Chains A and B, each alone.
Chain A
Amino acid sequence: MSTAESGRQLSVPLASVEAVATDSADPPLVHARGLTKRFGEFTAVDGIDVDVARGEAFGFLGPNGAGKSSTMRMIGCVSPPTEGTLRILGRDPRTEGPAIRARLGVVPQQDTLDTELSVRENLLIYGRYFGMSRAAVRDKTDELLEFVQLSDRAKDKVEPLSGGMKRRLTIARSLINDPEMLLLDEPTTGLDPQARHSLWDRLFRLKQRGVTLVLTTHYMDEAEQLCDRLVVMDKGRFAAEGSPRELIATYSTREVLELRFGADADNKVYADKLEGLVDRIEVLPDRLLLYTDDGDGSAAAVYDRGLRPVSTLVRRSTLEDVFLRLTGRTLVD
């Protein structure tokens, strides 16, 4: 295959897609086909196909137990796939794990900071694990502590830091080797709103610098804020895939009208009376959700049918609506 041809991916027949992925100048950083992870009888990840391009911010969205973390561990080359093809940075994790990990940054779900070391030492030794010289790692450490606003805590032990500070330190640690791709497993779970926004700000700046982000979350606002593209995972498979806007357009409507008929009202009866008014009605114990492209128009139509709700609220449809539609409202633990 000539160089000119290998550069044009579209002209290549499907069967050789993988060959192109490794040959071309900029292969997808994550390339998975039929990727499967089983633990004994339990299938955590059930044959997923995914590609993440350089510079993208890609999200895995899903309830607990959907297989997000298992997928992330396979991408991070710390968990061998049971079946399927996986290429990270164009290489095979089965045989080139250390070489791949050298170019990744990982923010795990649980903090794994070295509690026996100080804030600064955490970064110093972590850089050394990547084979960096002491001088290089010292410079990088100072720069990163500045970036995550922890310079004044450099000499402190890790344990007394707040949750948000620990997360920021973990992010600083993940950047010590100037990774090409950053893997973040539920980066803001358990943080207060200020800490979350501060973290999003850092991640957004990394994205602007061209770092590829792959993250899992079950926060819809996080996915909408950070992700160019995302998949909704449920029971080890992809339930939907697209940009946040595309997903809302496909699985929800532009707006949602929320109606409340009071605490004692039988919402099911009201739902029957509103039959045919909008595309879809969801009955919740305390309210009705009407999925519509024109919230105000639908509200007027509700009044036209002689119904008098206690309160009406028109809001933009969010990823949360998509998520709940796709994965259901049943509680998953």
Chain B
Amino acid sequence: MSATLHPDRESATLLARIVPLRGTSARRASLMVERSLMVYRRGWVIIVSGFFEPLFYLLSIGVGIGALVGSVTVDGTVLEYTAFVAPALLASSAMNGAVYDSTFNIFFKLKYAKTYDAILSTPMSPGDVAAGEICWALLRGLIYSTAFLVVMLALGLVGSPWAVLVLPAAVLIGFGFAAVGVAATTYMRGWQDFEFVQLIVLPMFLFATTFYPLSTYPSALQAVVVCTPLYHAVELIRDLTTGLVDGTLTIHVAYLAVMGLIGLRVAAGRLEKLLLT
């Protein structure tokens, strides 16, 4: 009997291996976004504040220090320093929006408000909750990125038609970081564990080619930087806004997509393990 597997079931198992989530529907997951919209209808200020951080960096470092530095040479092309830094800050803001929403907010709902316990008593599945919350977090990142892109356009920092792909790229960046953020949050024991988030996010922000090109590092350090997710996010956006697009673009996209899918799968599995015991 066991040798004659049902073909439908076999393909279903195969599908479950590729598409990581069982019992997840886009319609149900979107209800988590609907919930967040209800919550933030009253609290737009909280979201707006997240936009100013990268803007201030752009003004102080991009414009201020940019005046001292002048220009940067990337792959033989000379770029205004501001045009070099701005896309990196956009990538960082997509990351920050996603990371903050997917860590602090998720932890509160998971451990204190018991929000997900109530939701899982309905037809919603852990996969729906994980996908929906990741989706909201990446949307928050997307809001920051969009606002930032508008600023870049206004300051004349966008030099290529490839820039129409910046927002889809920001969605991908948000997805990668939000998914890993939610997954990591399910392992947090208390608020003190959030220090680790800072410990990872801040050095990445400072060193992942945000403020100077990769060639500044000795080759050993270059190898380390190239492994970080923000490096791929920064390079992806920078390629698009400067128009210096080559084959490495697909590597950046693949890195972030795989990161997001793994994060989503771990997040859903962990929520199930924590809440459906």
Chain A interface (Cβ < 8 Å from any Cβ of B): 39, 76, 78-80, 97-99, 101-102, 104, 106, 108, 110, 112-117, 121, 124-126, 128-131, 173, 177
Contact = CB atoms under 8 A, between A and B. Distances in A.
B218 interface: no
B121 A76 contact: yes
A124 B38 CA distance: 10
Interface of B: 23, 27-28, 31, 34-35, 38-39, 113-115, 117-125, 275-277
A128 B31 contact: yes
Contacts of A110: 114
21 contacts: A76-B121, A78-B120, A78-B121, A78-B276, A97-B125, A98-B123, A98-B125, A112-B114, A112-B117, A112-B118, A114-B115, A114-B118, A116-B39, A116-B113, A117-B38, A117-B39, A126-B122, A129-B31, A129-B123, A130-B122, A173-B118
Contacts of A112: 113-115, 117-118
Contacts of A114: 35, 113, 115, 118
A78 B275 contact: yes
A98 B23 contact: yes
A106 B123 CA distance: 12
B223 to A, nearest CB: 44
Nearest to B114: A112
A129 to B, nearest CB: 4
A108 B116 CA distance: 13
Contacts of A129: 28, 31, 119, 122-124
Given A78-B121, A114-B113, A121 B38 contact: yes
B277 A79 contact: yes
A177 B123 CA distance: 11
A46 B117 CA distance: 25
A101 B123 contact: yes
Contacts of A113: 118
Contact of B38 (A78, A99, A125, A131): A125
Nearest to B109: A116
A99 B23 CA distance: 11
A115 B113 contact: yes
B20 to A, nearest CB: 18
A72 to B, nearest CB: 11
Contacts of B28: 129, 131
Contacts of B117: 78, 108, 112
Given A113-B118, A129-B123, 16 more contacts: A78-B117, A80-B276, A98-B125, A99-B123, A101-B122, A102-B123, A110-B114, A114-B113, A114-B118, A116-B39, A117-B35, A126-B118, A128-B34, A129-B31, A129-B122, A130-B122
A128 B36 CA distance: 13
B126 to A, nearest CB: 10
Given A79-B276, A112-B114, A125 B123 contact: no
